Amino acid sequence: MTFGVPAGLPVTRVDRFVADRSGLSRTYVQRLIAEGRLTLDGRPVRANVPAVPGSELLLEVPEVRPLDLAPEPIPLDVVYEDADLLIVAKPAGLVVHPGPGHPGGTLVNALLARGGAKAFGGIAGVARPGIVHRLDRETSGLIMVARNDRAQAALMAQLKARRVRKTYLALVAGSVAAAVGRIEAPIGRDPGHRTRMAVVPGGRPAVTGYRVRERLGAWTLLELDLVTGRTHQLRVHLASIGHPVAGDAVYGTGRAGRGPEGLGRLFLHAWQLELAAPGDGHLIRATAPPPPELEDVLARLRQAGR
């Protein structure tokens, strides 16, 4: 990868500049720099030197390590597809990446069955076919999958620059007073429960926008804009203002943790994505309606309200 440093660029470290331009994580870029893979005029560059306007940097990104995973014929609901990108509607219960406790049966296994690791992007040192962001296991809805390394880098750069608009639907406990609002509160590990996240001083900045879509008695259906992408952000932010997501047994208690009658999962759904196509930059807007198990809950609440 070659990066020209434009004239007039404010003073910035070279590792930050390359990470922003490539879409790669800063940690991964720093690792490559430590290995001598970032050069200027053929000479290795240190991570903390400034990016000099007018210079040209060359980053060597090594071949990915293949995954030792078996393809699995798990059905995929493909909402959008072109030469660079898949947008898949993930069902609740499907894990995105293999990990401890989930060695198989994941979205990655399904993608391998659809075309093999070579059919998708795999930058950042390990072949995670095309994955550029993730959804919690309990959350349903849209997730982007890059079909080549160039598209994966472009999508990661858009996500880093917050140019991908991600809109969710959530049923929350209680009547949300403001029709439109914004939650700005830092998120980090809960000091009392290390497996949970919380709003904590010194946490990472996090921003969530919301709009009331429908009031349903003791519940409110919200549209949520995920401005930043912290772990469990929407669930933590909504619980912090006293309106936990219905069915969230981790961040909600009592009736909120159980949800309304008939709800057997977390009522959080990645409803819409808007982004620039990695190839020609045209606007892509993909939508996935809530799955039947969520629509059924809404229908019962509407009926009870009548």
d(CA 61, CA 28): 10
pLDDT at residue 134, rounded to an integer: 87
Decide which of 102 and 266 is more confident: 266
For residue 7, is it within any domain? yes
Domain containing 87 equals: 64-161
Same domain, 136 and 207: no
Tokens standing for residue 67: 């995954």
Same domain, 70 and 10: no
CATH number at residue 223: 3.30.2350.10
Same domain, 170 and 183: yes
For residue 285, is it within any domain? no
pLDDT level of residue 303 (50, 70, 90 thresholds): very high
Same domain, 91 and 122: yes
d(CA 205, CA 190): 15
For residue 279, is it within any domain? no
Same domain, 189 and 300: yes
**Vertex 62 angle, CA 57 and 63, to 5°:** 140
pLDDT at residue 85, rounded to an integer: 94
Same domain, 106 and 208: no
d(CA 132, CA 152): 7
Query: Which residues make Cβ contacts (< 8 Å) with residue 25, sequence separation at least 6?
Result: 19, 124
**Vertex 126 angle, CA 205 and 271, to 5°:** 50
For residue 282, is it within any domain? no
Same domain, 19 and 132: no
**Number of structural domains, the chain?**
3
List for the chain the helix, strand, coil content (%; round to 5). Answer: 25, 30, 45
Residues labelled catalytic? 136
Tokens standing for residue 192: 């009392």
Decide which of 273 and 128 is more confident: 273
Task: Name the most confidently modeled range: 56-70, 187-201, 237-251.
Answer: 237-251
Same domain, 300 and 204: yes
Taking each helix axis from N to C end, the angle separating 26-34 and 14-22, rounded to the nearest 10 degrees, works out to 120
Judge residue 31's burial from the number of C-beta atoms within 10 Å of its C-beta, 0-12 exposed, 13-18 middle, 19 or more buried.
middle
Last residue of a domain, one of 107, 131, 161: 161
What digits encode the pLDDT tens for the residues 55-70? 889 988 877 665 667 8
Decide the pairing of beta strands 56-59 and 38-40: antiparallel
What digits encode the pLDDT tens for the residues 118-143? 677 666 555 467 888 889 999 999 99
Tokens standing for residue 210: 């919301």
For residue 284, is it within any domain? no
Same domain, 157 and 170: no
For residue 287, is it within any domain? no
For residue 289, is it within any domain? no
pLDDT level of residue 210 (50, 70, 90 thresholds): very high
| Residue 54 β-bridge partners | none
Tokens standing for residue 157: 């750069």
CATH number at residue 21: 3.10.290.10
